[in-house]
């Protein structure tokens, strides 16, 4: 089972040999078994990747992430037909009733808010009780947009003078990088479970190829928030820009642990269990079958 990620930040040539990823750099060569790799981030413009390697990555179910000139995740390559019930699951997905979609979205938002409250508590910030009390007010489909109201309270408690859509803010740079890595892992898990990631439960943008991934990632986001805070000086302050060391820390985010039911799992494994449970929840027509990550011990 795949359990590791690979993050390329320096000039390199990536090739394939005997089901191994070969990384050649100025200071030497490393080989890694493809079967061990879940995600590969090519985070430098000075890297070359061979076509046979890309093909082998798709065959092995590896999510390949590319970054832009600012080193932000900008592209995602995923395999086709990774599940023996591909057509059956896709049919289930497209035929999911609107009421069930709304109840599934309700469960995802509630889990997200509970995790946000747990993050505030873990960091010793105020507001955890306030956000946690909002959980019970999230109705089916969240028609009152409790998620947005909770977000305003959450960000105000987590950081002072913080604007979430300011792309130049060092905090947002790190958050967006972390979210991008998690999104790739969630999308990988969905494809492996037979889903079409473009068809969402709540997100429905015609230009978004990953609407369903953007639904399921919601309970995972607070884990990135906690990691970004932990990268600060203890007060939440962060150095400007996004260094290579910062990106390497964020690239390891899927290996951080969470609770799913009574188990301790990595976020990578949790994304797989979450996607698998979504199939059961749709088949059983109940969100009670969803297995979602929870923050804390």
High-pLDDT (> 90) share of the chain, %: 86
Comparing CA positions, the residue from 23, 2, 21, 4 lying closest to residue 12 is: 23
Domains and CATH numbers, the chain: 4-77 (3.100.10.20), 86-289 (1.20.120.920)
pLDDT at 61: 93
pLDDT range class, residue 55, cuts 50, 70, 90 = very high
Closest CA to 24 of 9, 13, 40, 33: 13
**pLDDT, greater one: 144 or 87:** 144
Distance CA 101, CA 113 (A): 18
Q: What is the mean pLDDT of the chain?
A: 94
Amino acid 233: pLDDT: 72
pLDDT one-digit tens code per residue, 76-116: 999 876 666 778 898 999 999 999 999 999 999 999 999 99
Confidence (pTM): 0.94
- Long-range pairs of 170-173 with CB within 8 A, sequence gap ≥ 24: 170/238, 170/239, 170/240, 170/241, 170/242, 171/228, 171/236, 171/238, 173/72, 173/241, 173/242
Structural contact between residues 233 and 259, judged by C-beta atoms closer than 8 angstroms: no
- The pLDDT tens digits of the residues spanning 236-284 come to 667 788 899 999 999 999 999 999 999 999 999 999 999 999 999 999 9
Q: What is the mean pLDDT of residues 9-21?
A: 97
Read off the tokens for 164: 């979430």
Q: Which residues lie closer than 8 Å to 186 by C-beta, 6 or more apart?
A: 213, 216, 217, 220, 271, 274, 275
**Is the backbone of residue 234 left (phi > 0), alpha (psi -120 to 50) or beta?**
left
How many of the other CB atoms lie within 10 Å of CB of 277? 19
Q: Which residues of 199-222 are buried (b: 16+ CB within 10 A; e: fewer)?
A: ebbbbeeeeeebbbbbbbbbbbbb
Give me the pLDDT at residue 81, please. Answer: 64
Angle in degrees, CA 277, 278, 282, rounded to 5: 120
Q: 165 or 268: which carries more pLDDT confidence? A: 268
Give pLDDT, residue 147.
97
Quote the pLDDT of residue 86.
79
pLDDT at 141: 97
Q: What is the pLDDT of residues 176-226, one digit of tens each?
A: 999 999 999 999 999 999 999 999 999 999 999 999 999 999 999 999 999
Q: What is the pLDDT at residue 254?
A: 97
The mean pLDDT value for 48-64 works out to: 96
The values of phi and psi at residue 131, to 5°, are -65, -40
Contacts of 247 (CB under 8 A, 6+ apart): 7, 9, 43, 71, 177
pLDDT at 151 over 80: yes
């Amino acid at each position: 089972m795949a359990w590791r990620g690979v993050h390329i930040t320096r000039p390199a040539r990536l090739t394939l040999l005997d089901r191994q990823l070969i990384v050649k750099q100025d200071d030497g060569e490393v080989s890694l078994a493809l079967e061990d790799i879940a995600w590969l981030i090519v985070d430098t413009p000075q890297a070359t990747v061979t076509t046979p390697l890309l093909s082998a990555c798709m065959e092995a179910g590896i999510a390949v992430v590319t970054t832009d000139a600012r080193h932000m995740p900008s592209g995602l390559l995923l395999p086709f037909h990774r599940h023996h019930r591909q057509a059956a699951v896709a049919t289930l997905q497209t035929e999911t009733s609107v009421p069930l979609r709304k109840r599934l979205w309700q469960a995802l938002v509630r889990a997200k808010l509970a995790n946000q409250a747990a993050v505030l508590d873990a960091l010793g910030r105020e507001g955890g009780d306030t956000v946690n009390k909002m959980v019970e007010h999230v109705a089916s489909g969240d028609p009152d947009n409790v998620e947005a109201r909770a977000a305003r309270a959450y960000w105000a408690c987590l950081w002072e003078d913080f604007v979430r859509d300011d792309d130049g803010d060092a905090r947002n740079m790190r958050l967006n990088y972390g979210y991008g890595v998690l999104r790739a892992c969630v999308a990988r898990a969905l494809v492996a479970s037979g889903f079409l990631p473009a068809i969402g439960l709540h997100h429905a943008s015609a230009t978004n190829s990953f609407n369903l991934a953007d639904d399921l990632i919601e309970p995972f986001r607070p884990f990135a928030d906690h990691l970004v805070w932990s990268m600060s000086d203890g007060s939440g302050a962060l150095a400007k820009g996004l260094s290579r060391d910062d990106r390497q820390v964020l690239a390891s985010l899927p290996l951080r642990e969470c609770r799913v039911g009574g188990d301790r799992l990595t976020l990578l494994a949790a994304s797989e269990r979450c996607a698998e449970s979504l199939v059961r929840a749709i088949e059983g027509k109940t969100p009670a079958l969803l297995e979602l990550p929870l923050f804390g011990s």
